Amino acid sequence: MLEVKNMSKRFGGIRAVDDCSFTVRKGEITALIGPNGAGKTTAFNCISRTMAPTSGEVWLDGERIDGLRPHQITRRGLSRTFQISRNLADMTVLENVICQSRTEGWRDMFRPALSEAEIAKAMGILDFLGITRIAQEDGSNLSYGQKKLMDLAALLMSDPKIILLDEPAGGVNPTLLEEIVGHIRELNAKGLTVLIVEHNMELIMRLSDRVVVMAQGTVIAEGTPEEVRADPAVLDAYLGGVLEAEE
């Protein structure tokens, strides 16, 4: 579904992503993990083209996309969330979900603010996520977890075939986290491919089909959660301390 080939991103003399290559298989949940500063979010930004890679290629379902604009990539079936919710001020949850899902660039300026079809679709997604009760709530008044669900709703409005989730568990209480995990599993069961960046190792190990590990901007390991957990390079670079703390 997704293939990253020799991708790099430099900021002056700093290589945030350095000759990074990995694949995401269709229909699977793949986790991208690594210590702080490993380059995970920068990789996400380059894949979704919110940031231009310095070099390398990104392929989606057999089509090269690293030269496209973000809304063009979204139209081709790849959508992503961000670590921090990007809700628009003074707008309701329903308005945020619809406005953030527009993918026609400047043409969207000439469309109705909220069409009946968009409202019906958005309300259906909010119902799936169990948050129709906050549809008319100001987006800025939501809890951190509710904002995560609003972002997920906006992402689903574009009918993606692959979603990139950047730390969906960050700052979320345990009860709501299990709801989010349940939604991810249900979406995946319906055929949606998932790539997820997350620091919650317990969550990653029970949710993912495959794990890609980054350190210092490059991929150091790929495999099943069990294979990655036992990989000496991964233990040395990142997981060792986490696993020791769990035992």
Domain residue ranges of the chain, discontinuous segments joined by + = 2-86+160-246
pLDDT at position 246 is 43
Average pLDDT estimate for 204-211: 93
pLDDT at position 243 is 46
Strand order in the sheet with 218-223: 78-80, 162-166, 193-197, 29-33, 210-215, 218-223
- Does pLDDT of 66 surpass 70? yes
The model's pTM is 0.87
List of residues 6+ apart from 176 with CB closer than 8 A: 145, 148, 149
- Does pLDDT of 186 surpass 60? yes
- Residue 50 binned pLDDT confidence (cut-offs 50, 70, 90): very high
CA distances from 44 to 2, 39, 184, 206, 231 (A): 12, 9, 18, 22, 24
Identify the DSSP state of 68: S
Average pLDDT estimate for 44-73: 95
- Does pLDDT of 130 surpass 60? yes
Reading the block at residue 134, the tokens are: 């906050």
Lowest mean per-residue pLDDT among 66-70, 75-79, 86-90: 86-90
The fold of 2-86+160-246 is: Rossmann fold (3.40.50)
What's the distance, CA 54 to chain centroid?
21
Percent above pLDDT 90 for the chain: 62
Average pLDDT estimate for 118-139: 93
| Measured torsion, CA atoms of residues 217, 221, 24, 204, in degrees rounded to the nearest 10 | -100
pLDDT at position 245 is 43
Q: Give residue for tokens 């689903």.
A: 156
pLDDT at position 37 is 86
In terms of C-beta density within 10 A (0-12 exposed, 13-18 middle, 19 or more buried), how is residue 26 classed?
A: exposed
pLDDT at position 112 is 54
What's the distance, CA 57 to chain centroid?
19
Average pLDDT estimate for 137-145: 87
Q: What angle, rounded to 10 degrees, do the helices at 116-128 and 144-156 form? A: 130
Average pLDDT estimate for 218-242: 82
Whole-number mean pLDDT of the chain?
A: 88
CA distance 65 to 53: 11
- Residue 191 binned pLDDT confidence (cut-offs 50, 70, 90): very high
Average pLDDT estimate for 127-151: 91
Q: Give residue for tokens 């008319």.
A: 136
- Residue 223 binned pLDDT confidence (cut-offs 50, 70, 90): very high
CA distances from 102 to 16, 70, 229 (A): 30, 11, 40
